[in-house]
Each structure stands twice: as C-alpha cells, then as structure tokens.
Amino acid sequence: MRIGIDCRTILNPERGEQAGVGYYTYYLVKNLLALDKKNYYVLFFDDRYKNFGEFEGERVTIKTFPFYQYKKYLPVTYSQMLIAAFLKREKLDLLHSPANIIPLFYGRPAVVTIHDLAIYKYPEFFPKKFLSRQAFATKVLVPNTVKKAKKIIAVSKNTKKDIIELFSVPEEKIEVVYEGIVGESHRSNFSLEDIKNRFGILGRYLLFVGTVEPRKNIISLVRAFRDLMLSYDSPVKDLQLIIAGAKGWNNEAIFKAISDANASIVGQANRRSGRERRSGLDRRSDEVKKKEGERRSGAERRASEPIRYLGYISHEEKQTLIGNAVAFIFPSLYEGFGLPILEAMSLGTPVITSNLSSLPEITGRQAAVLVDPNKQSEITEAISQILTDEGLRESLKIKGRERAGDFSWENCARETLNIYENAVK
C-alpha cells in the first residue's frame, strides 16, 4: 500500500517546536516508519522544511509542496486546488491528513484525525475576526472532510462524541486512538537550578503550562491561588504560581488578573491614594516608608512576584519545570486530548485538572484530583488538599505514572496502521 501523510504541521522538533498537531504528526510518523516494514510512505512537507534526514528510508519518499509562495495571495486556491492536484499525481492508495481537513478537491481514499472541536463547542472563546476568517473551514471544509473520509481518527472518546453530535457521523466510522507520551530517554538535560536562574524562580512552585487564552481558565486558577495566599496559615505562603506558555488571544483580562492578584498578595492594594499623597497624609509603617526610595531592577521585582508569567518555553525547559513542580494545575474548560496533564503524570508530578471534556478520560478517576473548573472554590480546595496531604501527593505520583504508561506512540502507530488497512478494504 502507498500511504501519503501530510506532514506540514511538523516544525522543528529538535528545538522543542512540537506543540499540538505538529507534535502528534511527528511522533506518529516516526513510530509508523519504525513499525511498518510492509507499506510505502510518501511524506508531504512544504518547501520551507529542510530536515528530512530522520524520515528517510527505503520505503519512504519525501515530497515538498511546490508554489508555497502562492499561499499568501491565493490561500484557498493553494490549499484546496493546487495541493489536491499535487496529491492526486502521487497515485496514493490512502492519504492521512492529521490536521482536521482533507483538501476539498481530493477524491481518493483518505483518513483524517480530528483533535479539537472547541471552535464549534465554545465559539465565545475565540475572537470574532478569527471566527470570520475560519468560517469557510468550519462551514465547508470540516463538514466535507468528515463526510468523505473513509475513516475518522478521534484523539479521545470525548472528541468522538463531539463529532457524532456536531456532524451526525455514524459511530462505526470513527475510531478512538490516543496520543502517546515521550519516554524517559527524552527527559530534559537542564537542571532545576539552571531553569530557576534563567527565569528568576525563587523556590518551590505550582505550575500551569499552556496557551494563555480564555478557555484555559487561568483567571480562576490565579484567583484561587490569591485566595489561598491571603488565607490564615496559608499552605502556599512559601510557593510561587508559575504560568508558562505562548500568549493566545483575548488575554488582556488574564494578565490584569495576574497583576491584580500580585498587588493584593504583596499589599500594593493598600498603597496611598493620590489624595493622601497630595495632602501629606501617610499611614504606612516606618519599614514601608524606608523602602520607598529604594530602586530594584525589573528582573528583581518580577522575581519576587508570587505569580510569575514566563512566556513561551522550550520542550526541555517545560520538562524540567513540570518534573520539579509541587503540583501541575490545568483547569481548562475544554480539551480535545490534554497532553500537558499526561506529560505531568509521566514525570511523577501530582495533577489537578478539570472534570470536563476529555480530561477525566485521560487521567482516570485516581491519577489526578478532578475539579469543576467553573467553581473557583473547588480549585482552591484542591490546591490546599494536595499541599497538606503528603499521602495524597505520593499516591498521585504513583498512580499518575502508572496511568501515563497506558499511552504510547507505538500503540498509537499500531492502531493507526490498523485503520489504514481497514480504510482501503
């Protein structure tokens, strides 16, 4: 069988650029090539990608899509007509599109992987301009894809349920194939001390990693941490909350919540008002007055913040941070799969996550503390519980590692290969 896989989502895995669909495609392809000694593969990249060496082999042909420069001027024509024509020329027995969409004008047998349908389930999470730009994809391309695909791969049972509800697809057409987890050999070479010095982390910390956008529910996490920090005999008094990840859309309210929470925790909310300064009235303590004239660098001020935003971090930096966190907290409102919590469990870090969408499906009922993400009080209580109950932390470490062991890229590749064979029968 001659199998084509669209690999355009693969970026630069050596630099840690493996997020989302690119991560999935990279590890699926690597494991398919190691596992399958019978079929031939045609891997399609765009002509910007040059590091083909790790994919080359006797049964592998590398192809780059031409005319990439046309995409800027003719995006729909490029994606739907030129690429479809290029694919047809390769006379594939089967095409696998790992990124939700099969080109509109491609009519040969195809399999598609669907990862995330948040844009359909929760459009309020997305900017109106983005929704407008994606209208052709959401209203035409994706519905056309699920209709004509021979088989649909869903990355979780929850995603399968969403596909059936949204597109009325027969259940037997959809197969659930879980993503895998990178093994111990891929642990970071960075020490915790290196990472702390690099990012100005003071000591022990709780961690969130993910795109900074509304559906990740970061505001509730920030406020839960603030409330605990301000409580009597606080269990988080010697911890920081570290937030890492690229900036997504509609993030202004998130960063304001972080700033407000930091101000509340360090007492900046009680600074003199403008009226007090003008009148000369000053109720502050002598210690606070003494520090008024002191100047600290921006790095020093940021390092002392109880809640720290690090920005985007590399894969190795992420591995070190997750592996050394007191707990990993991921209160997302919707996930197609939930890879970050799987990574945390595999590294033996206790996890707090949501009881919604695919997340409880990935953790099971005993490998993480599950909360209703719409109830901030539950997030607060879960953090307190995990910090004060050493037995619970140890149990989560053990059960988390055990649960993560159920997810492997080898299994993902084997099950995917099975689907390929059934799709062409």
Q: Quick one: 199 and 146 in the same domain?
A: no
Contact of 334 with 359, CB cutoff 8 Å: no
Q: Quick one: 375 and 305 in the same domain?
A: yes
CATH no. for residue 139?
3.40.50.2000
Q: Quick one: 105 and 134 in the same domain?
A: yes
Structural domain harbouring 87: 2-180+408-423
Q: Quote the number of domains for the chain.
A: 2
Tokens of 34: 């190691």
Place of tokens 């669907």: 114
Three-class DSSP category at 245: coil
Q: List b or e across 402-421, with b for residues whose CB sees 16 or more CB atoms inside 10 angstroms.
A: ebbeebbbeebbeebbebbe
> Does residue 132 form part of some domain?
yes
Q: Quick one: 385 and 247 in the same domain?
A: yes
pTM over 0.95: no
Q: Quick one: 320 and 247 in the same domain?
A: yes
Q: Quick one: 311 and 388 in the same domain?
A: yes
> Does residue 280 form part of some domain?
no
Q: Quick one: 115 and 99 in the same domain?
A: yes
The dihedral through the CA atoms of 124, 125, 129, 131 has a sign that is negative
Task: Please report, in tens digits, the pLDDT of each residue of the chain (425 residues total).
Answer: 999 999 988 865 444 444 578 889 999 999 999 999 999 999 998 776 667 788 988 999 999 877 655 555 455 656 677 888 889 999 999 999 998 899 888 999 999 999 999 999 999 999 999 999 899 889 999 999 999 999 999 999 999 999 999 999 999 999 999 999 876 545 567 788 888 888 889 899 999 999 999 999 999 999 999 999 998 888 888 999 999 999 998 999 999 999 999 999 988 544 444 444 445 545 455 655 555 545 444 444 555 789 999 999 888 899 999 999 999 999 999 999 999 999 999 999 999 999 999 999 999 989 999 999 999 999 999 999 999 999 999 999 999 999 999 999 999 999 999 999 999 98
> Does residue 189 form part of some domain?
yes
Q: Quick one: 386 and 326 in the same domain?
A: yes
**Residue 175's beta-bridge partner residues?**
153
Q: Quick one: 378 and 418 in the same domain?
A: no
Q: List b or e across 371-393, with b for residues whose CB sees 16 or more CB atoms inside 10 angstroms.
A: bebeebebbbebbbebbeeeeeb
Other C-beta atoms within 10 Å of 254: how many?
22
> Does residue 199 form part of some domain?
yes
- In angstroms, rounded to a whole number, what is the distance separating the alpha carbons of residues 305 and 309? 9
Q: Quick one: 122 and 195 in the same domain?
A: no
> Does residue 274 form part of some domain?
no
